Amino acid sequence: MAPVNVTVTGAAGQIGYALLFRIASGHLLGPDTQVNLRLLEIPQAVKAAEGTAMELDDCAFPLLSGIEITDDAKKAFDGVNVALLVGARPRAKGMERGDLLEANGGIFKPQGEAINAGAADDVRVLVVGNPANTNALIAQAHAPDVPRERFTAMTRLDHNRAISQLAAKLSVPVTEIKKLTIWGNHSATQYPDLFNAEVGGRNAAEAVNDEAWLADTFIPTVAKRGAAIIEARGASSAASAANAALNHIHDWVNGTPEGDWTSMAIPSDGSYGVPEGLISSFPVVCKDGKYEIVQGLEINEFSRARIDASVAELAEERDAVKGLGLI
Ligand code: NAX
């Protein structure tokens, strides 16, 4: 089997550093798949990416068949099978939202065009760089020849954080938690849903039986975990974000476990009242390399209000990038 071409943007950044060694050791696609890494960086960071590549060489990973480093998106995405779009423009102090979206448009528009021009037929794209859902929308808009559903954004870190918080609350191993869902945007408005989740086969909201904890502790802790990590570590989540990116692609390609699902931000087909086309997080089951939204879940009033608020924020972001001519 030919090696799989995996492109990582922002390869010299902190998530990149936490991600590349695990991709090369088989945690992205499994222990039988050779990978060919393409590292895309801005010109000033190419040297640092070269340093990381030297370290990758020094690991002599049996599954790593090659590494290329470039600052040219066309080269980086030529023949790409898995694209991990990590590099993004962070919000600088005093930056307006419009400026942030515009700066990211300058990154994700040409990357979408390069994916459109050169990607392999089976390309799968995961956007990690924030604002992830809307950056994915921008890239997608500039890749009209790629099936829309191949553009996704990451809410798996939020999903994993929610599992961990719930397991700690109930003093159970994380493996007892199933069917957790993150709905909406990867932002402070995201909604981690326990009403459809299970703990040891039992409904999670019933097992918790504490609506105040749910509303005032659980949801804000999950939603604001990124800020808490920055506060404690002095730097934003890196290894956990890289781990979530691996989980997202691994499950998309290899399937979700029987009797469980995961959370992915994907283009809405209108399910659960989320306007078609918005890249919003849903419960999904993956099988045969494809994902499908889990249908028929009951959405109570508590959940509805929170899903609607997060989706409204996504619609606002979409309208803002539309207004800027980015999509
Ligand atoms: P770093 O600032 O450490 O690294 C970003 C790297 O991207 C830099 O090396 C920079 O040179 C590169 N870059 C910038 N523009 C580029 C371009 N046009 N092409 C290629 N590379 C480019 O950030 P890091 O901590 O690695 O975080 C990366 C992104 O992930 C940020 O946008 C961050 O907000 C986002 N996150 C998303 C998460 C999620 O759950 N979706 C969680 C973690 C993280 O906060």
Return d(Cα 260, Cα 197) in angstroms, integer: 9
> What is residue 106's predicted lDDT score, i.e. its pLDDT?
94
Catalytic residue selected from 159, 186, 248, 250:
186
Q: Over 90: is that where the pLDDT of 245 sits? A: yes
Distance from the alpha carbon of residue 217 to the mean position of ligand 1, in angstroms: 28
Closest-CA residue, ligand 1 atom 20, reads: 41
Q: What is the ipTM score, two decimals?
A: 0.98
Q: pLDDT tens digit string along 38-78?
A: 999 999 999 999 999 999 999 999 999 999 999 999 999 99
Q: Which residues pair with 183 in a beta bridge?
A: 191
Q: pLDDT tens digit string along 139-167?
A: 999 999 999 999 999 999 999 999 999 99
> What is residue 210's predicted lDDT score, i.e. its pLDDT?
97
Ligand 1 atom closest to 132 (CA)? 41
Mean pLDDT for the stretch of residues 3-15: 98
The model's confidence at residue 95, banded by pLDDT at 50, 70 and 90, is confident
Q: Which residues pair with 281 in a beta bridge?
A: 184, 265
For residue 22, report the phi and psi dihedrals to the nearest 5 degrees.
Answer: -75, -35
The sign of the dihedral angle between the CA atoms of 224, 253, 129, 14 is: positive
Query: Considering the chain, what is the average pLDDT of its residues?
Result: 97
186 annotated active-site: yes
> Could you give the domains of the chain?
4-153 (3.40.50.720), 155-318 (3.90.110.10)
Mean pLDDT for the stretch of residues 2-24: 98
